[in-house]
Every structure is written in C-alpha cells, then in structure tokens.
Structure 1
C-alpha cells in the first residue's frame, strides 16, 4: 500500500491544501461533500473515515444513510446542502461537458463567492484523496491520520 506520507513534500502540500479548502466552511457541509464524492468514486477508505467524522460532529445517522439518495429525500437536506451535493456529483463526474450551467447556478445562488470557492476546493480535494486511496488500495477502517 502506497501512503502519501512516503512522499513528505507531496503529503504536506496535500494536507495544507485540504486545510485551506475547509476554512470558513461548516464542518457538516464539508463532511457531506466528502461522503458523497467518496460514494461516487467507490472509495471505502475515505467513506469510512468521513462517516466517522460526521458522526463525531453530531450528524444524524439516518441523514448520513440517505446521502447517496439525497435528491429523493430533499426534506432531509437544506438548500445549501442540496446545492453542494449536486455540485459534488457534477464535479466528481466531470466528463467532457463539464459542470452544467444550471447546477453551477444553483450553487452560486446559495453560496457567496468565497463559500463557493471553498465548496469547489473541498470537492477537488476529496476527489484527489479518493484517487490516492483507491489507487493505493487503502482498506476501509484504516485512518492514517491517527498514526501521525
């Protein structure tokens, strides 16, 4: 298993970028972004880690269980959460056509410019971590943050 800690410069840069992308963003919103992207990317390692973090932050287990079907359960998520989840899916599944204008417009309508930048940066960061964990075959349940 490859760990980014084996490449200290890369690891430190990723951690710094992760911290910067989280500043000023509600912790629960950040966890929803990380959970949804990890579900879409099939990253069991990150999903386990961020479900644990979300529970520790006091998020409701039933709400967390519904993240994968958030669009069918809109009453469980605020307008901001729905916009962030929709944008997370669009950025994570970027494809050839990019993020649809209507998706970006809904996010822009509920986040100010700084917040929107933080949401996008958070989505980009969890996608980077997902790709590292999936490529490195990280097992669910391991939390290498706790070993440093």
Structure 2
C-alpha cells in the first residue's frame, strides 16, 4: 500500500496533476478568459486583439490600485501593445507602466507588481494579548 501511494504521489507531481497546481480559487473557473496566475487576474482577448479585465483576484497587485476595475481595457504594457504574452512576461516586484482605457478616457499609470492580500480589516491579523497587529 505504501509503495502504491508513494508512486501515485510521485507520478502526480511529475505530470503536474496535483491539487496545488489547480486554480487557487475555484470561482475563477466560472469566468471566461485567461487566468494569469502570478498577477491573479482574468483577462479576455477579443478578436481585434484588445485585452479587457474580467476579474481581479484577491492577491492581485491590480487590486491595490483603485483605478483598475473589471471591464477596463489594457492598451499598453511597458510601452508595447498589450497582449497575453506581454502580461505573462511581467515579473513580481516589477514597476510596470500600464495604459488602460475606461469608456472614452485613457490613463497611463505605474504600478508595483508585489503580491499582497488586500481588503482584510486590520483586526484579522490581531495577535491575541499583544495589542499589536502583524506587519
């Protein structure tokens, strides 16, 4: 039994079929588009090649900045036309320039691609009895 279990676990890691390799959030699977894991964002590329934001995940660096919303169109990434490849080529902790359009207005902003969890109130990280929160 132990041999079988060990070989099953080893095979699952070798072929990449392991629950940790699946999407972190099951609700991300119900949205159409491409999930970019290291940005925790779902984008959709239409037939004209424009990239639109479908959903911004909890760990996404895009969530830190209030000006990004679902439905925005990403025009440029690092002064090049936005594509799935250009979004996937962004690395963590990079300061990237992104141009986006909402409605008829176009904006260009620089964001840091550091992954954090956003939206929790400070009391969630409260250490009982210490009177402080974790940084």
Give TM-score, length-normalised by structure 2.
0.24
Q: Based on CA coordinates, which of the two structures has the bigger radius of gyration?
A: 2
Taking CA–CA contacts closer than 8 Å with sequence separation of 6 or more, which of the two structures ends up with the larger relative contact order?
1
Q: TM-score, normalised by structure 1?
A: 0.22
